[in-house]
Chain A
Amino acid sequence: MATQAAAPAAVSTGDHDRLIEVSLVKWHFLTGFAFLLIAMLAGLLFSMQFLQQYPFKGIEIFSPGRWRFVHTQGVAYGFIANIFLGMLYWAVPRLTHRPVLSRPLSWFLFFAWQAVILATAIGVLLGQAQALEWGETPVWIDPVAEIGLILVAVNFLAPVFKTKGPMYVTLWYFVAALVWTPLVYAMGNFLPQYLMTGVAAGAIGGLFIHDLVGLFVTPLGWGMMYYFVPIILKKPIWSHGLSLVGFWGLAFFYPLNGIHHFLYTPIPMFLQYGAIISTVAVELVVTTVIINFFMTIRGTGDMLRTSIPIRWFYTGMIFYFTTCLQCAFHTTLTFQKIIHFSDWVVGHAHLVMFGVFGFWMLGLLVHLLPRVCNRAGWYSRGLNEWHFWITALSMLVMFFDLMIAGLIQGYMWRDLAAWEETIRASRPYWLVRSVSGTAIIVAQFLFAYNVIRTLAMSPAPEAAPDGEAAPDPTAGGLATA
């Protein structure tokens, strides 16, 4: 059924070292995961402010608002970007059968990227944030980050453009994301700061918030799914046609969505309508992608039980469908009246960024980490099971909790309840949010412990460099089964 694009020839083990700098993948993964722990702790810290239990009250450097920046920036640029970079260093050379442009450049980018993140953290903690949601990076860091993103794009696009013939689905997503990300970053960080003002800048701000999710995180995430799911399931994607629909639908509709973050603002109404319609269109496109992936696993559903990475991936996909469906409704003007400004949106954002893309990345780590660290497998599968179940269930609790809190807030506001009453009504939900967040963090530390114990094991013998799921090491990026 699926006609795959021309596959590069199988990669022999000797080739593997020539193609892939495995330690670079490893260090991006480990650093990214460390940033996840830091960002989550920052989020927990900030959430305690909502319970009037902030532990570092009145200390300037621990100002809760500044730690909120650390939470979101740490997730976006520390966790997500690092894991994606590691994933790209693994996948792109295997898909193109060529190494990235330059290894020294790759290592330079690794250190430069961490420097950018640390500088961002220091900058926002000193109160130098930029008034741009998701782009709070101080203005003096923006140009450096932009140059870094361009170099990243060049580094990965070089091998892609050296290959001949059509590309596999994953590379469509990767190429598009590598083009979009520097463009989005430049648009969002520079235009509203230096060129545009007021309402027009608001439109750009909306585009930036949304494009960062839709044109950086989403395409890299789906590219990753199209690559790893067939490899682990050992079978091709169900429908190549639906893959085409999914990619081109996303590419066309997603960039048009941004203004839906600022409905009922003075941004011209016809643009708001346009953003709403294209948002609903994205949901239809997403449905085709979800169908494609669930038809792919059809017949091998047992893998959801036996393979923890597959379970992470498919749980993330269910959450992805949930969050997009939710979006198709709450982007309408009727829903907006109630849920805008409320915790509903916070719940939505957590489900997208962590419940979907965070889950996929954790699945990726479970799948690849022992392999790039040259270990025969995980220290404990049991810990990985606990990691999954605690995280997934706590994520669900947090999502529903914030959704309900948002509805209560929205209706109380509309009914002109005194502001203090709306705070009082929200408090139990904020408590549940903090508790579920704590559970998620505990699960991540269980995983961290598992990682450390796995690294402490002796290296695997040369003959068996495979990780837990033992995918075919010679797979050239396609399901060769």
Chain B
Amino acid sequence: MFETKSGVFLVAGLGFFALAFMVMGLLPWTIYRNEPEATVAEMIEQHGIVPEFVEFAEKFPDRFKEYYGDCNAASFEAALRRGHRIYVGEACWHCHSQFVRPVSNEALRWGPVADAKEYQNELQRPVLFGTRRVGPDLSREAAHRSNDWHIAHFHKPSSVVPVSVMPEYPWFFDEDGYPNRDGMAIITYVQWLGSWIKEYPYFLGDGPRGPGEVEEEKLKFDDI
């Protein structure tokens, strides 16, 4: 078997691959099979429209009308989908992770540890965990910074964070410097990430957290 064609083809090639696929691929899938995948519309129905999207409609009414029409669940969904597509296409996910680990003080820095439920939606297809953090984790980014900050930042990151190594994205803006359809979409998407978590992120102690709001264990400094 160890040196024959059938042995290598069937046992090593097909057999071991199938074994690993079942254990490491199908098993987690069966574990989560009862956790339904939410569509974008269901997510919106459940968690609402983020206020930052409404702000675009109020602040840039003409442009918003042109790009997205009325401010409602349908246009919010369109913006989220477009934002997600840009997030993937521009490789944002190669420098920004979308999961908070239970170690290395990440709960102190970013907010609540990632939960399996958060990934059971259409815009995590394929999942955007990420493997590298050149920039901050974004899974708790919602409402963390204002739209204005994001507009300035996407246009020229170093204008708000001088050491930033994030690229500039002038094609997210029209010739007058206002966010265009893509600009509104990507900012809406970023402002949506983690908006389903009711407690605000507590970045470096800035967040509006009070006693009792955060579990004690999360506040323990993790020193390995």
Contacts and interface: CB of A to CB of B under 8 A. Distances in A.
Interface of A: 5, 49-52, 54, 57-58, 60, 63-66, 68-69, 124, 127-133, 136, 157, 160-161, 163, 166-167, 171-172, 175-176, 178-180, 183-184, 187, 191-193, 196-207, 209, 215, 244, 247-248, 251-252, 255-256, 258-259, 261-262, 264-268, 271, 274-275, 333-334, 336-338, 340-342, 345-346, 410, 413-416, 418-420, 423-424, 427, 430
B171 A198 contact: no
B157 to A, nearest CB: 10
Given A66-B90, A255-B21, 10 more contacts: A64-B167, A172-B8, A196-B29, A197-B119, A203-B25, A205-B127, A338-B224, A340-B131, A416-B109, A416-B204
Interface of B: 2-5, 8-9, 11-14, 16-17, 19-21, 23-25, 27-29, 31-32, 35, 37, 85-86, 88-95, 97, 99, 101-106, 108-109, 114-116, 119-122, 124-136, 158, 161-165, 167-171, 204, 222-224
B99 to A, nearest CB: 6
26 contacts: A63-B91, A64-B167, A65-B90, A65-B95, A136-B91, A179-B17, A191-B25, A197-B125, A198-B119, A198-B127, A199-B120, A200-B32, A201-B125, A202-B127, A203-B24, A205-B129, A248-B12, A251-B16, A255-B24, A256-B24, A266-B115, A268-B28, A337-B224, A340-B101, A413-B133, A414-B224
A178 B23 CA distance: 22
A65 B5 contact: no
Contacts of B127: 131, 192, 197-199, 201-202, 205
Most chain B CB inside 10 Å of its own CB: which residue of A132, A187, A196, A199: A199
A271 B124 contact: no
Nearest to A163: B5
A259 B129 CA distance: 12
Contacts of B131: 133, 209, 261, 340-341, 345
B93 A131 contact: yes
A259 B125 contact: no
A187 B24 contact: no
A69 B158 CA distance: 24
A63 B13 contact: no
Contacts of B31: 200, 268
A47 B94 CA distance: 13
Given A52-B165, A271-B27, A346-B132, A198 B124 contact: yes
Contact of B132 (A207, A248, A336, A341): A341
A267 B95 CA distance: 21
A198 B165 contact: no
Contact of B121 (A128, A198, A209, A424): A198
A69 B93 CA distance: 12
Nearest to B100: A264
A176 B3 CA distance: 12
Contact of A197 (B37, B103, B106): B37
A129 B88 contact: yes
A128 B161 CA distance: 29
B165 A207 contact: no
Contact of A65 (B13, B94, B116, B124): B94
Contacts of B163: 420, 423-424, 427
B222 to A, nearest CB: 7
A172 B12 contact: yes
A157 B2 CA distance: 18
Given A133-B131, A192-B127, A341-B133, A127 B12 contact: no
B77 to A, nearest CB: 17
B17 A180 contact: yes
A152 B117 CA distance: 40
A271 B92 CA distance: 28
A267 B116 CA distance: 8
Nearest to B19: A255
A66 B158 CA distance: 20
A175 B8 contact: yes
Nearest to A138: B89
Contacts of A209: 131
B90 A187 contact: no
Nearest to B99: A265
B12 A176 contact: yes
B120 A413 contact: no
Contacts of A66: 89-91
Given A127-B89, A264-B102, A52 B28 contact: no
